């Protein structure tokens, strides 16, 4: 059974510490790669991937993101204190209509298949979250080790050479069991691994983590390459 979601939580609240000094007065999502901000690139991918509702959370320099988005059809949720990815998702839950949504980090460059479409094609209702991943030797801007091992059936365990690419489909109920206000989605994933309900889908295109200033050039180079 497959009921693909059409809503997205786009994480934009972080401090972007690894991108200093560029993030001293500019939030990381507004950093430009090849003439377009990371935030706008993610929004375009989401729209092309069939997503009709987008919620963006903010904290660090949140007013700049809010001003950037003022003419765009998105909902902005400002966090007065940083809640991390899991806490941010739980805090924004009331803004979503359906029980299953996409989440995206919004700090990567993609070339190839639309990541949201890839996840939608692989989503099955019998899992609680589906992560988009790729082997560490097939991505740019990210060194070994990876985050997970992925079995042939898509089952995920910790440790291995697969990298989480920052986009997933997740059932919102999965965050409800965490009692703390601020927490990482890693805590949720560990619970899903224990229940054998965390799965991964493989991305076949090119991907670059824009986690450090020097990776901006790597991302631009990927955009210049033809996708085969």
Q: Where are the domains of the chain?
A: 7-224
Tens-digit pLDDT profile for residues 116-167: 999 999 999 999 999 999 999 999 999 999 999 999 889 999 999 999 999 9
Q: Are 172 and 99 in contact (CB under 8 A)?
A: yes
pTM value > 0.85:
yes
Find the helix or strand (DSSP H, E) in which 217 lies.
helix 215-224
- Torsion from C-alpha of 194, 192, 209, 66, nearest 10 degrees: -150
**Domain spanning 7-224: CATH superfamily:** Spore Coat Polysaccharide Biosynthesis Protein SpsA; Chain A (3.90.550.10)
């Amino acid at each position: 059974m497959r009921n693909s979601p059409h809503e997205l939580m786009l994480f934009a609240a972080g401090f972007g510490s690894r991108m200093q000094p560029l993030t001293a007065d500019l939030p990381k999502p507004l950093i430009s790669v090849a003439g377009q901000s990371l935030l706008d690139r993610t929004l375009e991918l989401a729209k092309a991937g069939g997503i009709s509702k987008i919620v963006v959370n903010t904290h660090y320099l949140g007013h700049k993101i809010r001003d950037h988005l003022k003419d765009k059809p998105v909902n902005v949720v400002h966090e007065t204190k940083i809640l991390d990815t899991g806490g941010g998702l739980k805090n924004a839950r009331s803004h979503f209509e359906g029980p299953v949504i996409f989440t995206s980090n919004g700090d990567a460059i993609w070339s190839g298949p639309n990541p949201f479409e890839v996840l939608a094609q692989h989503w099955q209702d019998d899992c609680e979250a589906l992560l988009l991943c790729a082997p560490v030797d097939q991505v740019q801007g990210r060194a070994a080790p990876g985050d997970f091992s992925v079995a042939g059936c898509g089952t995920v365990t910790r440790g291995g050479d697969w990298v989480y690419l920052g986009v997933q489909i997740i059932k919102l109920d999965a965050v409800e069991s965490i009692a703390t206000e601020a927490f990482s989605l890693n805590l949720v994933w560990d619970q899903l691994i224990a229940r054998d309900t965390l799965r991964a889908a493989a991305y076949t295109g090119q991907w670059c983590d824009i986690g450090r200033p020097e990776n901006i050039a790597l991302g631009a180079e990927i955009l210049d390459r033809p996708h085969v």
